[in-house]
Amino acid sequence: MRFQQLEKPMDRNMKLLVVLALLCSAIISRGQSTIGYEAGNAERNVFFNGSPVPDNNVAEIGFFNPGFDLSANANNLTALNSAWHELAFTSFKAVFSPPNDGRFSGSSSTSDTAFDSKNISLWIFKTTDNAAPASGFGNVAGYGIFSSTAANWIFPSQSGMPPLTTSVYSSEVNQAYHGTFDADTVNGHLFLNPVPEPATVGLLGLAAATLFIARSKRRA
């Protein structure tokens, strides 16, 4: 006669724990998204004043408030900063290219649903000391704000099915709000614009005020 071995209560409990662990792992992975961002080899690198941005400068990834007018506020660092939601930042650093070649590569994960389905932007800085931007942006010499209409330039929604990942590349940039880019996506560049001179900003404000006064007088 064959006797069927009865499953021990301990074995059943162990199997139940394994199933629960797998379920918890699936729930956790579903509640987190991972985003890569880079200006790597065979992609546009980043230039400022005719030269590649040196190592240790910073590229940030995040989004601006929906409805915020980037074009109108592109020269206003205070307004940009108040509307900016940073996910992460990475430093310029050579990987497979020579040092100080204007390249960066980073990756970050988040479980913050505030990023869900928002348009991804890169805010890239060149500072006077080749470091992260100081509070108040006092050391910022130039910056660029770049994005793309490509479908992968959207933060994954954490209500979607895993894996919740996307990667964005400088070769895909087709929108520049402060800065420019050239058509060559392999050997080309993203170009940062200088920070507007205080005198220039003041003159623009004076011109706007003069225009407003002139229009008011005409109406009167």
Kindly report, residue by residue over 144-170, the tens digit of the pLDDT.
999 999 999 999 998 888 889 999 999
In a domain, 195, yes or no: yes
In a domain, 217, yes or no: no
Indicate the length of the chain as a whole number: 220
In a domain, 125, yes or no: yes
In a domain, 149, yes or no: yes
Range of the domain at 208: 33-212
Q: Which of 129, 128, 164 is nearest to 31 (CA)?
A: 164
What CA–CA distance (Å, rounded) separates 186 from 44? 6
Q: Which of 142, 111, 140 is nearest to 31 (CA)?
A: 111
Count of the separate structural domains present in the chain: 1
pTM score of the predicted model: 0.78
Predicted confidence (pLDDT) at residue 219 exceeds the cutoff of 60: no
Q: What does the pLDDT look like over 121-147, one tens digit per residue? A: 999 999 999 999 999 999 999 999 999
Q: What is the pLDDT of residue 17?
A: 57
In a domain, 20, yes or no: no
Report the chain's mean pLDDT, rounded to a whole number: 85
Q: What does the pLDDT look like over 38-94, one tens digit per residue? A: 999 999 999 999 999 999 999 999 999 999 999 999 999 999 999 999 999 999 998
Q: What is the pLDDT of residue 41?
A: 93
User: Tell me, what DSSP letter sits at residue 170?
Assistant: G
Q: Strand pairing of 33-39 and 165-169?
A: parallel
Q: Which of 92, 137, 90, 145 is nearest to 119 (CA)?
A: 145
Residue 37 Cα to chain centre, angstroms:
7
What CA–CA distance (Å, rounded) separates 44 from 180? 12
In a domain, 10, yes or no: no
